[in-house]
A and B are shown apart, each in its own frame.
Chain A
């Protein structure tokens, strides 16, 4: 799969964690497990708040896909950039956004990451270099190439991760963004989270090939393709692409095969798939797999309790914070529309 192009670069052979001591490897997996659990629980809490009418608009949940965000972002430096679509909660949390900031945004409160102006689809956190969630499919892909362009322009050796779904691989922005990134050799990794359905349309009915990573071939771009069952594998494989971007300044298209356990959004009953299909995928839940890995490595009940109680407390605190925070006032509108005087 990899190295099939004459432009392909030598691959690192050892997983980045192989040289670490067994203890630190367990600690690392425990940290990733905690992040994945936090995302799962925040999303469950978001769904509950939506059902209670506390969250409006669209709500696209990340449940089932947590290993993609957590594994991919674990391979980054804190100053690297991340940008994604509207299914952005998990990615924002993995990049360092607080659960408070995220839930307050969902609740439309002024304490939210975007002052309650963005909502579910627009999670931005400048401090953590989380450059947003975007609501137009594929529209952020050229923008992501521009962020990577700036890194090349300044020679700052930062890498940009650009996430999108397989549905985006049919729209122009995907092709223009990948084409320019390959042409100009930009330090970026395009991560296609193939969760099998673009809203309700399976890939088999929306694309002429089954393998999304093939799209890289036409641009002479490196590619990779794998399942996101194991968060450490995601970290390793994305890490290879990140290293290629950082050291050689070349982009990669990575198709990460995953599955969302909920509908496209809260209004989607997901009638286009069978309960049996969903149950089959739930057996491959990356969160459960990470927990099993930790248990096999000797993590005991007390440590799990510490992690899981810590996450529960964090989610409860965030929920309380979001519920009790004030709504934004009209005064935020003009100041967030223009820098400087309003242009009327």
Chain B
């Protein structure tokens, strides 16, 4: 074990995979000479050179498409979006080319590509830079979507994503890049599609991912003082989604709250609610509630932004509602 920041864990994953497999390369805006907009790729240009750490112009549709084309003929690209917000102009490439390549070709062609970058809100960056894009992408068959909350998962999931033969989208968070945590050294993979119990508990389950796992843990600490034991399931992977861990947790706690950034209409939270009510209906003792970003474009003003993004107090209040007069 070694203590690493989230961004260093991501970098370690990329370096190890690029050392292991010559077909892997990193491409994106400012990933090379600038050392990464968020320093995730710091030092990688010096180590691998311009052939494998490739700075691009501001042309997301262009370089996302270049990555897909390279993947189709056998390379294994890592495409960094400076933020997932900017993937919106590359949405056609991901939706129509990456996700459908295998299907359109009748299974002849694979698209082993990783798209990664920071997702969801940062701090006061306004409505165009605060999107939780995972909801759009998890909707699409042909894609896989992961959203780690801790440095060890960031490394292990990114390594698995790079080795996967499908397009895998890795949702990071600007607010987590400095987070430190224990990370196993060397070749430790975290499988896609497996949730993790971030905190065991008995009275209620909170399902969350990425930054919201930490908000859920803070809410759990608040509730513990009131005598409520909260289990936090860190989903880690959104597609595939680990139904087994979710259902097993709800069968123990009988109550569920889902917390995520992004708007409430549809999305990952709605998907979790559908599955759990379908698969564990008899175990539920209260309706499942969701805590999401409020249903408006993200405001700039700090107080309004805080009010829009799920906070521990709002999560705790929602948990109290599902517990009721137990």
User: A108-122 CB contact bits vs B (8 Å, 1 = yes)?
Assistant: 000011111110001
Whether A179 contacts B97 in the complex (CB less than 8 A), given A336-B102, A337-B103, A339-B110, comes out as no
Interface size class for chain B? 35 or more
Q: A179 to B66, Cβ gap below 8 A?
A: no
C-alpha gap A342/B25 in the complex (Å):
26
Among A26-34, A137-145, A296-304, the stretch that binds chain B is: A137-145
User: A319-344 CB contact bits vs B (8 Å, 1 = yes)?
Assistant: 00000000000001001111111111
C-alpha gap A340/B74 in the complex (Å):
17
B263 is an interface residue with CB less than 8 A from chain A: no
Q: Among the listed A118, A150, A172, A332, which residue makes an inter-chain contact with B75, where contact means beta carbons less than 8 Å apart?
A: A150
Q: A343 to B193, Cβ gap below 8 A?
A: yes
Q: B108 to A337, Cβ gap below 8 A?
A: no
B227 is an interface residue with CB less than 8 A from chain A: no
Contacts of B104 in A (CB 8 A): 114, 117-118, 122, 124, 132
Q: A143 to B59, Cβ gap below 8 A?
A: no
B291 is an interface residue with CB less than 8 A from chain A: no
C-alpha gap A254/B65 in the complex (Å):
21
Q: B51 to A143, Cβ gap below 8 A?
A: no
Contacts of A176 in B (CB 8 A): 59, 61-63, 65
Tell me, rounded to whole Å, the shortest Cβ–Cβ distance linking A191 to chain B: 16
User: B236-252 CB contact bits vs A (8 Å, 1 = yes)?
Assistant: 00011100000000000
Contacts of A115 in B (CB 8 A): 106-107
Question: In this complex, which of B106, B107, B239 has the most chain A Cβ atoms within 10 angstroms of its Cβ?
Answer: B106
Tell me, rounded to whole Å, the shortest Cβ–Cβ distance linking A341 to chain B: 8
C-alpha gap A149/B75 in the complex (Å):
10
A115-161, CB < 8 A from B = 115-118, 122, 124-126, 131-132, 134-136, 139-151, 153-154
Q: Among the listed A114, A131, A136, A332, which residue makes an inter-chain contact with B92, where contact means beta carbons less than 8 Å apart?
A: A136
C-alpha gap A335/B110 in the complex (Å):
12
Contacts of A144 in B (CB 8 A): 69
Whether A139 contacts B93 in the complex (CB less than 8 A), given A132-B105, A343-B192, comes out as yes
A251 is an interface residue with CB less than 8 A from chain B: no
C-alpha gap A336/B89 in the complex (Å):
27
Tell me, rounded to whole Å, the shortest Cβ–Cβ distance linking B46 to chain A: 19
Residue of B nearest to A143 (CB): B69
C-alpha gap A343/B194 in the complex (Å):
12
Q: B65 to A337, Cβ gap below 8 A?
A: no
Contacts of B67 in A (CB 8 A): 146
5 nearest A-B pairs in the assembled complex, by CB-CB distance: A146-B69, A142-B65, A176-B62, A114-B106, A115-B106
List A residues at the B interface (Cβ < 8 Å): 81, 83, 112-118, 122, 124-126, 131-132, 134-136, 139-151, 153-154, 172-173, 176-177, 179-180, 183, 332, 335-344
List B residues at the A interface (Cβ < 8 Å): 25, 51, 56-57, 59, 61-75, 89, 92-93, 96-97, 102-110, 112, 141-144, 164-166, 192-193, 239-241
